Structure 1
Amino acid sequence: MDATLSSRISRRRLLFIGAAFAGSAVASSWPASALAAATFRRWTGQALGAHATIQLAGAPQPLADEAFAAVTAEIRRLEAIFSIYRDDSELSRLNRHGKLTAPSPELLAVLTLAASVHRETGGLFDPTVQPLFAAYAEHFAKANTRSRDLPRKIFDTALARVGFKAVRFDAGAVAYTRPGMAMTLNGVAQGFITDRVAALLKARGFENVLLDVGEIVALGGGRDGRGWRIGLKQGPDDDTVLERLTLTDRAVATSMLRGTTLDAAGRFGHIIHPRQGLVRPAFPRVSVVEDNGARADALSTAAALMTFDQISQWRARGVDIRV
C-alpha cells in the first residue's frame, strides 16, 4: 500500500487501558514494602504505527533512561523487518519483489508462528490477506463510496493472491509462489515486538514491567505484588472498561472490529476474511490471554473472524478467549 493510501485509513489502535490497580492475589517475590517504595518509570513511543507505553519498576532514572534508549533502538530495528509502511523494510522488499534472500531470524520466527496458527485456525489467520486489504482501502478511498462490496472482478483478482500455503520460506529465502501476493504481519508482529522488548528489559534485570507495545505483556507483580490490572475497553473510542484482568508473566492481545477503519466515516473495520473478504464479525472485540504476545496477537486476529461455536471449541481446548 502506498503512503498516500495508508494516510487515508483511520488508525485507532489504543485497545486497552493498562493500569496499575490492586489485583487479586498473585504470588510475587517482591516484598510488599519494597513494592510500595519502588519507583515506577514510564516510557511512551510508537511501534508499527501504534502508540506504545512501558511502566518499569525499581529503576533509578539513569538506568531507566539507558533501558528506554535500548527499547527505542530495538523497536526501530524490528520495524526495519516488519513494517509495511517502510519501503526499505524486509517485508516491503518481499512484497515488492516477491522474494527476499537471507531473511532475518526474526522474520523466519514470525513466519513459522504464522504458519502454525494458520494451520490451527483452519486458515482464518492468514497474513497474505494484504491484497484484499489494499483493494478495500482503494475502494473506500474513492469519493462517496457507501457500499462495502468490491466490484466482482477486483475482488476475484485480489482473492486469487491470498493463501499462506503459497509462501515458501527457509534460512535462504522467503518467496511467494503466485504473482501479485503480499503480506501484512501486523496481526502477529506487534505481539512479537512486545515480547522482544519484554525480553530485552528482563535481560537487563527488570522483572516488574507492564508493556503495551502494540499488545500487552505483564511481567512481575505490579504495584502491590498481586499482579498488573488490565482493563479491556469497550471500543477504540469508548474508554468504558468492560472487564478487568490481573496478569503476571502473561500477555493479552485484542482484535477490535473498528480498531482501524477503512472509510472516513468509520463504518467499516479492517478485519478481512481471507476467503470471504469484508464480513460482519460476530463480536466487536475479541481478546486472547496467552503465555506470549506473538501467539496471543495471532490468535486474537483469527478469533475476530470466528463464530460463537468456534470460539467455544477453542475455549474447550483451554485457550483463554474473551468476547
Structure 2
Amino acid sequence: MIPFAAFSFAAALLWLAGSPAVAQDGAEIREFRGQTMGTTYMVKVYDPPKLADGIDIEIDAELRSVNDQMSTYLKSSEISRFNASESTDWFDVSAETALVVDAALRISKATNGAFDVTVGPLVNAWSFGPDAKTNTVPSDETIATLRESVGYEKLAVRIEPPALKKSTSSLKVDLSSIAKGHGVDRVIALLERHGAKNVFVEIGGEVRVTGKKGDQPWKVGIQDPRIEQSGTNETPLAAAHPIENQAMATSGDYRIFFEVDGKRYSHTLDPRSGRPIDHDLASVSVIAPTCMEADGWATAINVLGAEQGAKIAAAEGLDILLIRHRGNEFTRLGTGTLAQYATDPKLEPHAAQTQTHQAAQPGDAAHASEEATFFAKMLPTLIITLIGFGIILSAMAIGVIFGRKSISGSCGGLAGKKNDDGSVSCSLCSNPSDACQELREQMKKDA
C-alpha cells in the first residue's frame, strides 16, 4: 500500500500542475510541470480549448517516449541498443529517432564536423556522459584511440523504412545535444493535435512557442553569464526577447564543467580535436523554426566560436546572440532580430532585466510574477483539496482493509500491474518500472 501522506501530496501536485491560472488580461492559462531528461519541463497554454482529462499524463508519456527512443541512460532505449550492437547492417529504429539523426547529420555536414552526435565515447572519457565520473583529463593516447571510432561520416540514416547504420562496429551515438529540442517539438505537436493554438513549452531552457499570450508575444529570457560570478541572489538577463511561432535554444560553458590544476574544462567538446572547447564564447542563443534545429545549432555554433559561428549563422539564416568573455567583462554579438541586444559592448546591469531568488533560465521572462499571484490565490483551495484527498483516501483505505484487495500503484508500487512476460509495469504510463527506476537512479547519481 502507498503511504498516505506521500500519495496525498503527489495527487495534490498533479492537480496543481493542470490547474488553470488567470493572465493579466483575464484569460485562462493552463500550466503543466514535471521532470524529464535529467531536467525539468514547463508547459503553458494560453486561452486553451477544452483539453481532455489526463492531458498532463499525455505530455509526460510523450516525453517518456523520447527517453525510450534516445536516452543513453537507458540500456533499453533504441539508441543504447544501436550503440551496443556490433552489426554494420541496417538497424531498425522509430521514425522519430531517424528524424533526429537525419537533422543531426545535416548540421554535421554544414559545419564540417563541428557538430557530431557520434562523439559519445569522447564525452564519456571527459566525464560528461552516462558513465562513471572521474573528472580527470584523458591522455593524448586515449583521445587518439577514441577518435578512431568517432565521425559522423561513419553513420548513415534511412527515413523509410526508418533505420540507422554504422560503418564501424564501435560507433556510438549520443543525441543529448539535440534530443531535448526534439522533445519540445513533440509536446508542441501533441497540444496542437488537441486544438491548442497559443502554447509555450520549455525543457531545461530550450523553448518553442506557438501563437501569442493575448495581444502580446511570448517572451523568452536569455541568461546573463555573470550570474555565475555575482555571488548574489540576483540573476540578470541579457535579454527578454519576444518570439512568435519560433524556437530558441541556448548553449553555454558557465554551468557544466570541471577544473583540474586551475584549468577549466567545458562539457562541450569539439569533435574535430576530441577536447573541450577553448575559446571566448560564454553563451550562444539561437532562434530557429523548430526547437530541434535551435538546439543542434546552438551546440554547433558554440563549438565553432564567435567568428565562424556568426558566418555560418548568416549563411543558414539563423538569428543568434553570442556572449563573449573579455577578461572580466563580456561583450555581445547579435544577428537578425537578436542584433538589437548587441548595441552595448558591455553587459551593464539593468533593473528591468533582473529577477531575484531563482536562477534565470531561458524561459518565459514574465511568468514569475504570475506564479506568485497564482499561488497566493490558490493556497486556500490547495488546503481544502488536501483535506478532501485525505478524507477520500481514508475511505479508500478502509475499503481496501475490509475488502482485502491491494491497490495497483504507480512505478515502484507494491501492487504494480504485471505484463504477460511477468515484468512489472507502471499503471500510470505503461512503461517498464525497472527502466523508470534505472533512469531515475542514473540521473540522481549524475546530479
Same fold (TM over 0.5): yes
Which whole-Å CA distance do the structure 2 matches of 1:263 and 1:73 have between them? 38
Which whole-Å CA distance do the structure 2 matches of 1:266 and 1:233 have between them? 24
Secondary structure of the residue aligned to 1:128 is coil
Which whole-Å CA distance do the structure 2 matches of 1:45 and 1:263 have between them? 32
Alignment-derived partner of residue 210 in structure 2:
219
Contiguous gaps of at least 5 residues in structure 2: 1-22, 229-234, 323-447
Alignment-derived partner of residue 229 in structure 1:
219
Residues 258, 270 of structure 1: 8 Å contact kept: no
Name which of 72, 83, 104 aligns with 1:84.
72
Residues 35, 225 of structure 1: 8 Å contact kept: no
Shift of 1:226: 1.8
Which whole-Å CA distance do the structure 2 matches of 1:90 and 1:164 have between them? 18
Alignment-derived partner of residue 309 in structure 1:
307
Judged with a 3 Å threshold, the aligned counterparts in structure 2 of structure 1 residues 263 and 83 are, in CA distance, closer, same or farther, namely: farther
Matched, 1:245 2:241: yes
Which whole-Å CA distance do the structure 2 matches of 1:112 and 1:203 have between them? 24
After TM superposition, the structure 1 = structure 2 runs for residues 12-31 of structure 1, keeping only pairs within 5 Å, are none
Matched, 1:269 2:266: yes
Alignment-derived partner of residue 73 in structure 1:
61
Shift of 1:313: 1.3
**Equivalent AA in structure 2 for residue 58 of structure 1:** D
Which whole-Å CA distance do the structure 1 matches of 2:86 and 2:35 have between them? 28
Alignment-derived partner of residue 25 in structure 2:
36
Which whole-Å CA distance do the structure 2 matches of 1:98 and 1:35 have between them? 57
**Equivalent AA in structure 2 for residue 156 of structure 1:** A
Residue identity over aligned pairs, in percent, reads 26
TM-score (norm 2): 0.59
Secondary structure of the residue aligned to 1:297 is helix
Shift of 1:266: 10
Matched, 1:210 2:200: yes
Alignment-derived partner of residue 297 in structure 2:
299
Which whole-Å CA distance do the structure 2 matches of 1:130 and 1:281 have between them? 22
Which whole-Å CA distance do the structure 1 matches of 2:168 and 2:309 have between them? 32
Residues 253, 282 of structure 2: 8 Å contact kept: yes
Shift of 1:242: 0.7
After TM superposition, the structure 1 = structure 2 runs for residues 121-160 of structure 1, keeping only pairs within 5 Å, are 121-137=111-127, 141-142=133-134, 145=136, 148=137, 150-160=138-148
Shift of 1:257: 1.0
**Equivalent AA in structure 2 for residue 116 of structure 1:** R
Which whole-Å CA distance do the structure 2 matches of 1:172 and 1:298 have between them? 21
Which whole-Å CA distance do the structure 1 matches of 2:218 and 2:67 have between them? 27
Which whole-Å CA distance do the structure 1 matches of 2:222 and 2:165 have between them? 38
Secondary structure of the residue aligned to 2:303 is coil
Shift of 1:172: 5.9
Alignment-derived partner of residue 102 in structure 1:
92
Which whole-Å CA distance do the structure 1 matches of 2:227 and 2:81 have between them? 34
Shift of 1:306: 1.6
Secondary structure of the residue aligned to 1:111 is helix
Residues paired across the two proteins, number? 285
Matched, 1:169 2:157: yes
TM-score (norm 1): 0.80
Contiguous gaps of at least 5 residues in structure 1: 1-33
Judged with a 3 Å threshold, the aligned counterparts in structure 2 of structure 1 residues 287 and 201 are, in CA distance, closer, same or farther, namely: same
Judged with a 3 Å threshold, the aligned counterparts in structure 2 of structure 1 residues 266 and 253 are, in CA distance, closer, same or farther, namely: farther
Q: Which has the higher contact order (CA 8 A, sep 6+)?
A: 1
**Equivalent AA in structure 1 for residue 269 of structure 2:** I
Alignment-derived partner of residue 45 in structure 1:
34
Q: Report the aligned-residue RMSD.
A: 2.7
Which whole-Å CA distance do the structure 1 matches of 2:169 and 2:255 have between them? 30
Judged with a 3 Å threshold, the aligned counterparts in structure 2 of structure 1 residues 98 and 190 are, in CA distance, closer, same or farther, namely: farther
Shift of 1:237: 5.5
**Equivalent AA in structure 1 for residue 119 of structure 2:** V
Residues 54, 209 of structure 1: 8 Å contact kept: yes
**Equivalent AA in structure 2 for residue 42 of structure 1:** E
Residues 281, 304 of structure 1: 8 Å contact kept: no
Which whole-Å CA distance do the structure 1 matches of 2:187 and 2:309 have between them? 30
Residues 56, 210 of structure 1: 8 Å contact kept: yes
Shift of 1:285: 0.6
Secondary structure of the residue aligned to 2:293 is helix
